[in-house]
Chains A and B, each alone.
Chain A
């Protein structure tokens, strides 16, 4: 029965979101995810006051030590406090994850929806453009950007976002193309609804599911891409750090100093799980056809 309501042109767009909120509120896992993420954001914002040590304070005599009272999560090979490094690293990783994914989301959804809905030649031209960008040597592109404009984090966000939107666009386009031939959209067209109204009221809400799923997949991907770039020397500059970078170094010494891998790994995993729960919850909540059976 909910299926029919969503095809009614008279329905207000907002009720969908209200419904969604209600449904989300009933999903305990999603709320848990939301809680963890909010906590992470708050901690990140307060890091300069929370961190027990300055993030670049070295103690070479100390070197790498396992967790202790002075250093709850141990120290790295420079004798730097790992908890502090993780806190500061989290700021960078979360920022990269959210900003770059945001960029990708914005461009990808708009682009994909337009291509998929327009169809025909416009669609073909737009998708061939995506193909060109796909086939570009990404690394050279980033190296070039970093050297010409200097190594700045904002640019890193944009560069990663500019690459990640491509897959998003393809997925949205595929979904929209599929939807365009569904009965309720054809019905809406027959009624004489404007293209914008159809796009806005039927197409976009109906593509939200896959988009949110893909977004929850993109954020970790972006965080790891940042680690890869930083490892190549094109991302975060020492003594700054990020979770990806910390994990990267942790892998190299995982047999000697396992805590250097375990704790950053845990931080990243918890974040990703929270994102995952929230993403799933949102997907279910936003699904216009979600039913209780």
Chain B
């Protein structure tokens, strides 16, 4: 297991390198001038700015110096936010987004798994259809619709919960977490239902049943373990996607997070900010995929034996 983890971590290095390189050249190939502004700029001023950000040098030189800075952990100065380094911007945006992501995942897993398992226990009955229909609505309810709806109902009509901000007014984290978590909860519910149904028809479950094991033990010990494999495979990438996908939620609820940074970076052609957020997301994705793979191995007894065997 340790060896497996180490190998995967080593493999992450070329992956990250590839991401950095691809993104670097991709953003520079994208049309649009990061220094363009609606007011006409005298050529002297434009030349000053170009030189300031090193854009007057050949692209390969820019690339080499970027890599150099990156190795020292420096993402460089932002183009848009004068005098701010990308490190500074990320440090400002990451905590809120990470916290939001964790709450949303908790919402997703708690509600999703319970609904999915619940539905799978009695397939094709009301106990199945009701939670699955709700889940389907969750999926087809984009956060740009669910967020404003929740705000309208719980914030403005019932006046129960604050509708904006992050950690300013008590309770202002609830609606964003539900909004972001809902779609994922719906996915998790569908996947865990599918996975459970798959597993519950497997031979070893039948064997366990034949042995007369109590039903709850079968479900929670044997069923859940196999049935959640698709969920776990989904959760790794989903968590990373959730971080970047929180843009809409952050906009709707006025949250100072990474999602807004990322999207605005792209629209402003803020090269260093795009690079910084991309590298960060790439790292997160790699880490979460690794975690989800480790979990899958742990959940699947046969794979586990194989990896333990190979590491001895």
A and B touch in their complex, CB below 8 angstroms: yes
A residues neighboring B (CB under 8 Å): 3, 124, 128, 131-132, 134-137, 139-141, 143-144, 147, 166-167, 170-171, 174-175, 177-178, 181, 183, 209-210, 213-214, 217, 220-221, 224, 227-228, 231, 244, 247-248, 251, 254-255, 261, 265, 268-269, 272-273, 276, 280, 283-284, 287, 289-291
**Minimum Cβ distance to chain B for residue A62 (Å):** 26
Q: A137-B274, A174-B229, A269-B137 are in contact. Are A143 and B266 (CB under 8 A)?
A: yes
Q: How far is the CA of A34 from the CA of B278 in the complex (A)?
A: 41
**Minimum Cβ distance to chain A for residue B289 (Å):** 6
- From 121 to 153 in chain B, residues with beta carbon under 8 angstroms from any chain A beta carbon are 123-124, 132-133, 136-137, 139-140, 142, 144-145, 148-149, 152
Residues of A within 8 A of B145 (CB): 247, 251, 261, 265
Q: How far is the CA of A7 from the CA of B221 in the complex (A)?
A: 27
Q: Mark B36-69, 1 if CB is under 8 A from A, else 0.
A: 0000000000000000000000000000000000
What is the number of residues of chain B that contact chain A, defined by CB distance less than 8 Å?
61
Say yes or no: is B195 at the interface (Cβ < 8 Å to chain A).
yes
- From 57 to 88 in chain B, residues with beta carbon under 8 angstroms from any chain A beta carbon are none
Give chain B's interface secondary structure class: helix
Q: A224-B142, A269-B140 are in contact. Are A131 and B15 (CB under 8 A)?
A: yes
Stretch at the interface among B24-32, B106-114, B167-175: B24-32
Say yes or no: is B215 at the interface (Cβ < 8 Å to chain A).
no
**Minimum Cβ distance to chain A for residue B232 (Å):** 8
Residues of B within 8 A of A213 (CB): 190-191, 194
Say yes or no: is B198 at the interface (Cβ < 8 Å to chain A).
yes
Q: Which residue of B lies closest to A135 (CB)?
A: B282
**CB atoms of B203 and A209 under 8 A apart:** no
**CB atoms of A171 and B234 under 8 A apart:** yes
Q: A128-B15, A136-B19, A143-B266 are in contact. Are A210 and B26 (CB under 8 A)?
A: no
Say yes or no: is B93 at the interface (Cβ < 8 Å to chain A).
no
Residues of A within 8 A of B140 (CB): 220, 224, 268-269, 272
Q: How far is the CA of A142 from the CA of B230 in the complex (A)?
A: 28
Residues of A within 8 A of B233 (CB): 170-171, 174
Q: A134-B240, A276-B132 are in contact. Are A178 and B11 (CB under 8 A)?
A: no
Say yes or no: is B6 at the interface (Cβ < 8 Å to chain A).
no
**CB atoms of A167 and B278 under 8 A apart:** no
**CB atoms of B285 and A131 under 8 A apart:** yes
**CB atoms of B26 and A128 under 8 A apart:** no
**CB atoms of A140 and B300 under 8 A apart:** no
Most buried by B among A171, A174, A231: A174
Q: A141-B26, A170-B233, A170-B237 are in contact. Are A134 and B289 (CB under 8 A)?
A: yes
Residues of B within 8 A of A177 (CB): 303
Known: A128-B11, A139-B263. 9 other contacts (CB 8 A): A136-B23, A137-B277, A140-B23, A140-B266, A143-B30, A144-B26, A144-B29, A178-B303, A209-B197
Per CB-CB distance, the 3 closest pairs between chain A and chain B, nearest first, are A135-B282, A181-B302, A213-B194
Task: From A135, A143, A221, give the contact of B15 (CB < 8 A).
Answer: A135
**CB atoms of A132 and B15 under 8 A apart:** yes
Say yes or no: is B2 at the interface (Cβ < 8 Å to chain A).
no
**CB atoms of A135 and B144 under 8 A apart:** no
Residues of A within 8 A of B242 (CB): none
Q: How far is the CA of A133 from the CA of B41 in the complex (A)?
A: 38
Residues of A within 8 A of B246 (CB): none
Q: Which residue of B lies closest to A244 (CB)?
A: B142
Q: How far is the CA of A231 from the CA of B14 in the complex (A)?
A: 35
**CB atoms of A221 and B139 under 8 A apart:** yes
Residues of B within 8 A of A280 (CB): 132
Residues of B within 8 A of A289 (CB): 201-202
**Minimum Cβ distance to chain A for residue B11 (Å):** 6
Residues of B within 8 A of A268 (CB): 140
**Minimum Cβ distance to chain A for residue B141 (Å):** 9
**Minimum Cβ distance to chain A for residue B212 (Å):** 17
Say yes or no: is B118 at the interface (Cβ < 8 Å to chain A).
no
Q: Which residue of A lies closest to B193 (CB)?
A: A213
Residues of A within 8 A of B26 (CB): 136-137, 140-141, 144
Q: How far is the CA of A135 from the CA of B162 in the complex (A)?
A: 34
Residues of A within 8 A of B19 (CB): 132, 135-136
Q: Which residue of A lies closest to B156 (CB)?
A: A255
